[in-house]
Amino acid sequence: MRRFADLYRRLDRSTATSDKRAALLDYFRSAPPEDAAWALWLLCGGKIGGAKAKIAASAELRAWISAESGVEPWLVDECYSQVGDLAETLALLLDDPPSRDDAPLHVWIEARLLAVSGRDADTRRAAVVRGWRSLDRDARLVFNKLLTGALRVGVSQRLAQQALAELSGVDVALIAQRMLGAWTPGAAFLRDLLSPEALPGDRAQPYPFFLASPLEGGPEALGALADWRLEWKWDGIRLQLIRRDADIALWSRGEERLDGRFPEIEAAAAGLARDAVLDGELLVWRPAETAPAPFADLQTRIQRRRPGPRSIGQHPARMLAYDLLELEGVDLRERPLDERRALLEALWRDSPGAHAAIALSPALAAADWNAAARMREGARERGVEGLMLKRADSPYRVGRRRGDWWKWKIDPLTVDAVLLYAQAGHGRRSTLYTDYTFGVWDGDALVPVAKAYSGLDDAEILRLDRWIRAHTIERFGPVRSVEAVQVFELGFEGVNRSNRHKSGVAVRFPRILRWRTDKRPEEADRLDALEALAR
């Protein structure tokens, strides 16, 4: 635990990416494999325990620290409110022990925490208190973060993979590929992860997805349109379809296998003329329609692990393929996009048995950037989010690498809404009210329609925080209702009808565009304006 606590402190105090990578290299080079595997798991967002096999809930931790420290429960809550981080609060409320337990990280996790996960409260409490009473403050902070699942320290999964690649000499793309999907931390996993040899499991894994960057401003700075390929920016779920040796797998960009959820896609994959790995978009698209169904329809399919005929009939899925990553076992990712597209089109022509649920995302043509801009402006009527711009000679890279692929999204829909509720943020914003709920008029009442927490600068956040504290009407736990007088312009990608929301609509990806100090609350928009936009 001590070695990992030292790494955490070093990462937390570093701002330069090169310093963080150096810290990771030093740790992975010296840590036992069992510890290094767990450190990788934690740094990449993995948590200890789970909802069904918990170690400790937040309320339990606060109650236990109150009993151990002698601090009254109300004062523990006040300390938590001021510090803003439960793990740090727990670490500060106890003195350092006269001697410390130097057991390694994997022992703390496997033998002491996971061993009591899901057991009775007394057993779990004893394990937690043992950690509090045998670790110094730095190690105790990390121990608490294992309990709360809040181990965020500015390290991306990509950065950890780069450190491992530099350490082992294994290509970072192969390391990223081997980490896709579910894996269990352990020395055996780390050994395979860093193996320079090809492993049988490599063929079962998808390739890491190449992600586009948002295009800010016009595309003229990209150079000649002839060097770029245009496609629609679909509003679905990114999908990688793998067919290797008659085995078929569907992987989402979220590294989740979707096998069984879309049997019509799997059946179509069996109709491909050759083994291949396709990259594309998963949508709900009804045969008689000229545009895909709203994203909400796709969500109903995602939630069903084994859909029945009725669900498939009401919400038929289709994959629009736009890239070919592998053909008959040959990795094509380093070849130019135009070559990969030509091979994809040839495979498509040879595979009529796949056409039932797999189609090609159309290649678009425009005379110049002005014509492309006009095409983009009509995207919303087509049920798409804008245009994708891809360099004709681009390889298929790993992660979000700027320069070759851009998403040129349409301007957001907007609405003027009234601030109704506010809640404190998390981490460094835990002492400020930064999470907001907004409403629009439905008759003479304001109904909530969106939650947003991004879009204001630091000065505006501070000014609004002071206003919220001075104009609170009621408190509901951590939430404050405020005087309904502040108007904000919100941007969002789309509106869907929703029975789960009191307003009857749900907006997608809401964010604050500006604080409308020039508007009175009665000038805010009405619910019927959103309903008219809903699909």
pLDDT digits (tens, 9 = 90+) for 118-161: 899 999 999 999 999 999 989 999 999 998 887 778 788 889 99
The pLDDT of residue 428 is 62
8 Å CB contact between 260 and 253: no
pLDDT at 52 over 70: no
pLDDT at 48 over 90: no
Write down the CATH number for the domain with range 210-408.
3.30.470.30
Segment holding 214, helix H or strand E: strand 213-214
The pLDDT of residue 427 is 58
Q: Are strands 472-476 and 479-482 parallel, antiparallel or unpaired?
A: antiparallel
Q: State the average pLDDT for the chain.
A: 90
The pLDDT of residue 166 is 93
Q: Tokens in use for 94? A: 């106890």
Q: CATH 1.10.3260.10 in the chain, residues?
A: 2-148
Percent of the chain residues topping a pLDDT of 70: 98
What is the spatial distance between Cα 96 and Cα 174, in angstroms, rounded to a whole number?
A: 43
What is the spatial distance between Cα 435 and Cα 422, in angstroms, rounded to a whole number?
A: 6
Has domain 2-148 been given CATH number 1.10.3720.10? Answer: no
What digits encode the pLDDT tens for the residues 296-313?
Answer: 889 888 888 888 999 999
pLDDT at 24 over 80: yes
The pLDDT of residue 490 is 93
The pLDDT of residue 26 is 95
8 Å CB contact between 212 and 406: yes
The pLDDT of residue 107 is 95
pTM exceeds 0.85: no
Q: What's the whole-number mean pLDDT along residues 49-54? A: 62
Structural class in CATH, domain 413-533: mainly beta
The pLDDT of residue 79 is 87
Question: Nearest Cα to 425, choosing from 395, 452, 399, 387?
Answer: 452
pLDDT at 344 over 70: yes
Least confident among 51-60, 104-113, 415-424? 51-60
pLDDT at 53 over 70: no
SS (H, E, C) 16-72: CHHHHHHHHHHHHHHCCHHHHHHHHHHHCCCCCCCCCCCCCCHHHHHHHHHHHHCCC
Q: CATH 2.40.50.140 in the chain, residues?
A: 413-533
Residue 502: which pLDDT band, with cuts at 50, 70 and 90? confident
Q: CATH 3.30.470.30 in the chain, residues?
A: 210-408
Residue 180: which pLDDT band, with cuts at 50, 70 and 90? confident
pLDDT at 357 over 90: yes
Q: Which amino acid is at 373?
A: A
The pLDDT of residue 99 is 80
**Is 54 a catalytic site residue?**
no
- DSSP state at residue 97: P
| Axis-axis angle for helices 137-148, 58-69 (nearest 10) | 150
For 76, 145, 216, 464, 515, the CA distances from 455, given in Å and listed in that order, are 32, 29, 16, 13, 9
What digits encode the pLDDT tens for the residues 66-76?
Answer: 999 999 999 99
**Better pLDDT: 87 or 232:** 232
Residue 51: which pLDDT band, with cuts at 50, 70 and 90? low
pLDDT at 350 over 90: yes
The pLDDT of residue 481 is 94
What is the spatial distance between Cα 352 and Cα 355, in angstroms, rounded to a whole number?
A: 5
What digits encode the pLDDT tens for the residues 245-293?
Answer: 878 989 888 778 888 899 999 999 999 999 999 999 999 999 889 899 9
Q: What's the whole-number mean pLDDT along residues 378-406? A: 91
Point out the catalytic residue in the list 20, 145, 233, 390: 233
Question: Nearest Cα to 372, choosing from 381, 361, 362, 364?
Answer: 364
**Sheet containing strand 384-391, strands side by side:** 213-214, 405-409, 384-391, 228-234
pLDDT at 182 over 80: no
